[in-house]
A and B are shown apart, each in its own frame.
Chain A
Amino acid sequence: MSDEQFISIQNVSKHFGDVHAVDRVSIDIARGEFFSLLGPSGCGKTTLLRMLAGFEFPTAGEIFIDGQAMSTVAPNHRPVNMVFQSYAIFPHLNVSQNIGYSLRKDKLSKADFNSRVGEMLDLIKLSGYEDRASHELSGGERQRVALARALIRRPKVLLLDEPLGALDKQLREQMQLELRSLQRAVGITFVFVTHDQEEALTMSDRIAVMSKGRYLQIDTPTKLYEAPQNREVADFIGTMNFFDASVQDVGDGQASIDAGPLGKLSVSPGNLAFSSGQAALAAIRPEKISISSEKPSGGHVVEGTMDAAAYLGDRSHFYVRVPGVDKPVAVSAQNIDQTHLHGDGNQGQVWLSWSNDAVVLLNKD
């Protein structure tokens, strides 16, 4: 066991009848890492989390936590605690009874109990809430109480099942930052399940993007966004423009491709393998394309006509028809001085330009 394999999920499958909720998944999670399982509902992320908690047992494979095999360990004996999606605050107990729920078997004196609970209340900034009934708490407060309750015995791993889903946008963004700084403060390994890609990108050290019981890619948020390994990941995380391309020549960390209407480009293939003559996809993020109403000099430039524009305050989204490309090309631009693009010239001609390193080369499914 090394710190890199603090949690080691080895070839784990979970079948419910004919449904393969989790299908031969192997993931290593490092000690102290904030690790997210990201995917649409039904992708197996929650089942995987519940297997870590011990509420489900794998059909095949083994899970190790801190070197210890979990297949015979009941959930109440595991060194993990969980924050539930619905928070699962015990309705008949007050805040301090909820937070101190797991301390009962330690047979602490009243003073010790209160000081332990008090520490947690300080941590979640809810001091003075000891005697509140659970129904007197707001959504954000319930979330914090659930967090404190799960952390009070300092588990080796904290599991979080979409804990921010029920909060409104503003509170959610605040809680994302708080959760992240809390994780750094306590140094406990967090495994976080979410279907919200923005949430995963904001908080995680690494993310496993899951689909249909398997993972598509495990990487840091930057790598997932900047260098997705396949079309599904590129599509799921953020927005991506795809162009059919054919590989002409591969060599020395560079590949020459013919991207049809976009012309011939020289791009980095990353760690994917390509061979000459192969069909591929050239992918470009909307914000890596520059848009202007006058033809820029130099670089890769194509001409198009404006199809639609959406003003989002800090930035604008444009959809530009380029001859030879099926779907309008999505372009995102910061609203520094682009406002003139919203004028009457909307339907007019625009020029799109990008640099070579903005292009990601992907296998064609």
Chain B
Amino acid sequence: MPDETDPISDDELLYRRIPDSMHWYDPGSNLTPSPEAFRPKVRDKTGLSLFRANFVTPEKLAQNDRNARFYVAILCERELRELGLEIIPKPNPTGPPGHCEIPELRYENRRETRSEEFQVALATMLCVEILGPLPTS
């Protein structure tokens, strides 16, 4: 039985939620998502939030009672690690299972060069696929 605190293996897939309301991704255009979708926001104090595919489905991740629609970007742990990003498990008992974080991408350092470059790389190079917008319930 896998545990949420288990280290993340190279072949694991990871999910990143992208809110539809912010226009950061438009499947009708031929553009990759905006780097804003990977820019730490005020709540990302300890790292950018991702979720492990071994513990949650994209559909479950998109569910909410606010009727807010989400896309879910799929990323591969190996590709993030090869870029130099570390991903650590950080289970959150009040949120969806499989929560993990990229500690290097935090709100406080979001304007630093390295962080800005990672944001662009995540958006333009590292999304394996983007699903959605997914049903909210």
A, B co-complexed: no
